[in-house]
Amino acid sequence: MHPPARLVAIDMDGTLLPTFSQQISKRNAQALKAAQQAGIVVAIATGRRQAYTAPILEGLDLRADMPLITSNGAVTRTLAGDRLDRQFLPANVARALCGILRPFGALVFTFDREEPGELVLEDLEQTHGRIAVWVETNRKSIQVVKPLEDALVDGNDPIQGMVAGGMNKMRHAEKALKESPLHAVCGCIRTEYPRRDLAILDLLPHGVSKGSALQRLVARLGIDRKETMAIGDNWNDVDMLEWAGQSVVMGNAAVELRTMAKVKGWKQAPANDEDGVAVVLERLLARQQAAGVRA
């Protein structure tokens, strides 16, 4: 029997958000607020950066101190924007990544600043072709620099890189990185969207992931690992699902990931389009209420 969950870390795309939507459903929003009111820390853990995450949560009457683990664990801030944690990818490593990964797809580097140049790339048309919605949403933050290495000067370290393209091509890109000397200093996390034949490789400082960021957040808050729940749907969620004491995989996750969940004893929620997050939180609150427990 698990102890009552005091913190729930929730992925955003494919988990909290409906498919092809940028708006949290009413039921999911109500469940987030109810969990907070019950004393549970609700944290978002996403591959998105802060500026692409916080606006989706605004207007839902959620706590300003709600933690947002963003950029796949590189940065953690509150919903109000107060920084709790940040990791950098050394500029010299980022420059070397360009030479290895440029042939595979659209390469982007993210800097932790809210201004043009927060996102730097060298070929807007190539990027637009694969992730058009992302480009249009983030256009004001994008700066085009060619060659990309010119934006990656020593002392101006990004927080992460990203390369996007077809799923098969990104698997080859991941293989090329893992077979290079850079793999010792740079982590690589893959997220896949089979319906769109799109994969994204997030290039992160060594040892950085949603799981490592969640571990640091939980320690900061004085919460035990066994009291921590994680909910996700994709491969970039695996580290936090493996670390959390209570883990839930969405019903819309890839078959391979759902099979992994069964082997590891993780629970499965309904799909994101069926308000799976709300179902999990409602059941959690009902169990804790029946037991007379407040987080």
What residues are paired with 246 via a beta bridge?
Answer: 229
Query: 49 to each of 62, 157, 218, 278, how far by Cα in Å?
Result: 19, 16, 20, 24
SS3 167: helix
CATH of domain 91-205: 3.30.1240.10
Reported confidence tier of residue 132, pLDDT bands at 50, 70, 90? confident
Pair 42, 76: CB distance under 8 Å: no
User: What 3-state class would DSSP assign to 257?
Assistant: helix
List the domain boundaries for the chain: 7-86+209-290, 91-205
Check pLDDT > 60 for residue 40.
yes
| Dist CA 255 CA 124 (whole Å) | 33
* 91-205 and 7-86+209-290 share a CATH fold: no
Closest CA to 194 of 252, 262, 267, 268: 252
Please tell me the pTM assigned to this model.
Answer: 0.92
User: Cα(250)–Cα(21) distance, rounded to whole angstroms?
Assistant: 17
Measured in degrees and rounded to the nearest 5, phi and psi for residue 110 equal: -110, 135
**Per-residue pLDDT at 174 exceeds 70:** yes
Q: Average pLDDT in the 259-270 region?
A: 97
Q: What per-residue confidence (pLDDT) applies to 115?
A: 78
Which of the residue ranges 4-18, 104-118, 123-137, 253-267 would you say has the lowest mean pLDDT?
123-137
Give the distance from CA 9 to its chain's centroid: 10
Query: How many Å apart are CA 36 and CA 62, to the nearest integer?
Result: 8
Question: Can you identify the CATH homologous superfamily of domain 7-86+209-290?
Answer: HAD superfamily/HAD-like (3.40.50.1000)
The lowest-confidence range among 44-58, 185-199, 208-222 is 185-199
The residue-averaged pLDDT of 135-139 equals: 83
Which pLDDT score, from 0 to 100, does residue 293 have? Answer: 67
Other Cβ atoms within 10 Å of 112 Cβ, number: 21
Assign 159 a pLDDT band (cuts: 50, 70, 90): very high
- Is residue 295's pLDDT more than 90? no
pLDDT digits (tens, 9 = 90+) for 78-129: 999 999 999 999 999 999 999 999 999 889 999 998 778 899 998 877 665 6
Q: 75 pLDDT exceeds 80? A: yes
Instruction: Report the C-alpha gap between 49 and 79 in whole angstroms.
Output: 12
Q: Say how far apart CA 77 and CA 140 lie, in whole Å.
A: 21
- Picking from 100, 69, 104, the residue whose alpha carbon sits closest to that of residue 84 is 69
Give the tens place of pLDDT for each residue, 221-259.
999 999 999 999 999 999 999 999 999 999 999 999 999
250, 14 contact by CB (below 8 A): yes
Average pLDDT taken over every residue of the chain: 93
Rounded distance between C-alpha atoms, residue 172 and residue 175, angstroms: 5
Alpha-carbon gap, residue 164 to 199, rounded angstroms: 6
- Report the C-alpha gap between 291 and 287 in whole angstroms: 6
Which helix (DSSP H) or strand (DSSP E) does residue 77 occupy?
strand 75-78
Q: Tokens standing for 207?
A: 């040892």
pLDDT value at residue 1: 66
